[in-house]
């Protein structure tokens, strides 16, 4: 029997809560505010409404505002200082190396961000494939 491990990226391979998610949330609100010409309060309300209704802010923006998904993902997942924002467990690489079989990442994040996180964590070489939101036709996983 062949074994495959499927990992989520954020809050599985690293803790996104303290730095990454607040950064993404700020960037998403700013994006909605800028692109739709609404107040920060309205942008935040729309961001949360679309996330709750569709499972991802992006889907709501695509369906209701014809937002270009690549433009949105680039603008909201840009981390020049990514390494400084990552929080991970010591020994992550050693733990992953001990797992037999293939290792895959399946994430609602965009491919460029997932690749950058894996590289910054020093574990990119341990994964056989990364399936990002682009691979699902921008349909978020539950």
> Which H, E and C letters describe the chain, residue by residue?
CCCEEEECCECCCECCCCCHHHHHHHHHHHHHHHHHCCCHHHHHHHHHHHHHHHCCHHHHHHHHHCCCHHHHHHHHCCCCCHHHHCCCCCCHHHHHHHCCCEEEEECCCCHHHHHHHHHHHCCHHHCCEEECHHHHCCCCCC
pLDDT at 85: 95
What is residue 60's predicted lDDT score, i.e. its pLDDT?
Answer: 97
Which of 119, 127, 125, 46 is closest to 83 using CA atoms? 119
What pLDDT is stored for residue 96 in this prediction? 98
pLDDT of residue 141: 84
Q: Are residues 40 and 33 in contact, defined by beta-carbon separation less than 8 angstroms?
A: yes
User: Model's pTM, two decimal places?
Assistant: 0.93
List average pLDDT for each run of 10 residues in the chain, which is 142 residues long.
94 97 97 98 97 95 98 96 95 97 97 98 98 95 81
Task: Kindly report the backbone phi and psi dihedral angles of residue 19, in degrees, each rounded to the nearest multiple of 5, phi listed first.
Answer: -130, -45
């Amino acid at each position: 029997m062949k074994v495959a491990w499927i990992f989520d990226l954020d809050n599985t391979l690293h803790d996104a809560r303290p730095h990454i998610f607040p950064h993404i949330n700020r960037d998403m609100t700013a994006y909605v505010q800028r692109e739709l010409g609404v107040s920060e309060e309205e942008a935040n309300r729309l961001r949360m409404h679309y996330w709750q209704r569709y499972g991802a802010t992006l889907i709501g923006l695509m369906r209701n505002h014809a937002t270009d998904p690549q433009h949105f993902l680039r603008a909201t997942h840009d981390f020049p200082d990514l390494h400084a924002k990552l929080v991970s467990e010591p020994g992550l690489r050693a733990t992953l190396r001990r797992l037999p079989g293939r290792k895959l990442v399946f994430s609602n994040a965009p491919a460029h961000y997932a690749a950058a996180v894996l590289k910054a964590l020093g574990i990119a070489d341990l994964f056989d494939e990364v399936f990002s939101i682009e691979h699902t036709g921008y349909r978020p996983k539950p």
